[in-house]
Amino acid sequence: MTISRTIGLYKGVHYHGPLGRPRFMVMQDPSIEDVATARLAVGADCLIAVRWYHWPQDLSNPLANARQWFYQHQGQMQQMAKLGRVIFAGYNEIAKEQAEAYAAFELERWRLMHEAGYGAGLFNFSVGTPDEATWPRYQRVLEAMTDSDVLLFHEYGTDWEDLGNDWHVLRFARPEFRRYIRGQRIAVAEIGADHLDDPGLPIERRGYAGWRRFLAPEQFILWLARFGELYDVAAQELKADGVTFEGAAAYQAGLPGDDWWAFDVTGIWPAVTALYANQPPAPEPRLPLPEDETATDAAKLAEKCRWWLEEEQRERESGNDARANDIRLSLIQLLYRLENSLKGAP
């Protein structure tokens, strides 16, 4: 058995195990250093979606709420955006009753992010949403999206049979909804097993909150393999509509607290990454360079610049001119970061 690299991890701050080389993953509440470390592990082609936990998810004044969100995270986004393919998600699983406010929030957040040059992960729709009546209320955001943005969904099944229920899994690919995702990049930011209060299912098939309540580890690994198969087939079909499917993230490993223990994949994730199909080799190790530094405050950046200047000189004195030249060129990037920090630039 193999598992598609379409399936990545939804990673919390307390997970420190292998990540493999997926095409997509989610990181909740990471530091800049966390994202830099993950990037080195997963490689350059993996799309990383960063999400910060917010509660309450205030939509009382959507434009002001979006600006508050943006300015709260601007400094982190400025640094994380330098680490390759990274997008930034906003609020999570907003109910359809707040669709108008949610659309206004996302459109303003999108505007601010694009002015700053950041890619947006938009909406984070919960499983089974939006419905046909709600999709048009998000149209103005869909029309604004560019190829740097990604629509985000959540998809869960209640049992093995439910993985074939396209009201819960691959709902966005149903014929009546495809027109809304045409030409877009999409990803599923959460997948797994959950309890769903779906009146279309008999009560005995509405599932349990988390796979660990009713599945053995090897059974849930089979679920992840099946998710990958379904998404890979759909990705090929959706190309006809200009849709790029980026991947899906298994929820979760390493989130703080005990609320999500039944969803925790920490114990099985090393086995999942070992089963990745057609996994590219790990990147060739290279010697560190100044640009790899993750410091953000001016004092620490100045200290790092001084150390690297000394290192360059040591390499030249040892006759390693090629290494010294690499350090010199990379040091320019670190000095730019020091300059921006001293100027108070975002």
pTM for the full model? Answer: 0.84
Smallest CA-to-CA distance from 122 within 33, 47, 195, 189 is with 189
* Segments in the chain forming alpha helices (H): 32-42, 62-80, 99-116, 139-144, 178-181, 217-238, 269-274, 298-317, 321-343
How does pLDDT run across 235-285, given as a tens digit for each residue? 999 999 999 999 999 999 999 988 999 999 999 999 999 999 988 876 666
Residue 160 pLDDT grade (very low, low, confident, very high; cuts 50, 70, 90): very high
Q: What percent of the chain has pLDDT over 70?
A: 98
Q: What's the pLDDT at 345? A: 60
Q: What's the pLDDT at 82? A: 86
Dihedral-angle region of residue 24 (phi above 0 means left; psi in -120 to 50 means alpha; beta otherwise): beta
Residue 177 pLDDT grade (very low, low, confident, very high; cuts 50, 70, 90): very high
Query: Among 1-10, 53-62, 298-307, where is mean pLDDT lowest?
Result: 298-307
Query: Among 147-161, 205-219, 295-309, where is mean pLDDT lowest?
Result: 295-309
Average pLDDT over residues 51-65: 97
Above 70 in pLDDT, residue 220? Answer: yes
What CATH number does domain 7-274 carry, 1.20.120, 1.10.150, 1.10.3470, 3.20.20?
3.20.20
Average pLDDT over residues 298-326: 92
Q: What's the pLDDT at 255? A: 97
Smallest CA-to-CA distance from 78 within 38, 34, 39, 113 is with 113
Residue 333 pLDDT grade (very low, low, confident, very high; cuts 50, 70, 90): confident
Q: Which residues pair with 125 in a beta bridge?
A: 153
Contact (Cβ atoms closer than 8 angstroms) between residue 43 and residue 28: no
Between CA 221 and CA 227 the distance in angstroms is 10
| Domain boundaries of the chain, sorted by first residue | 7-274, 290-343
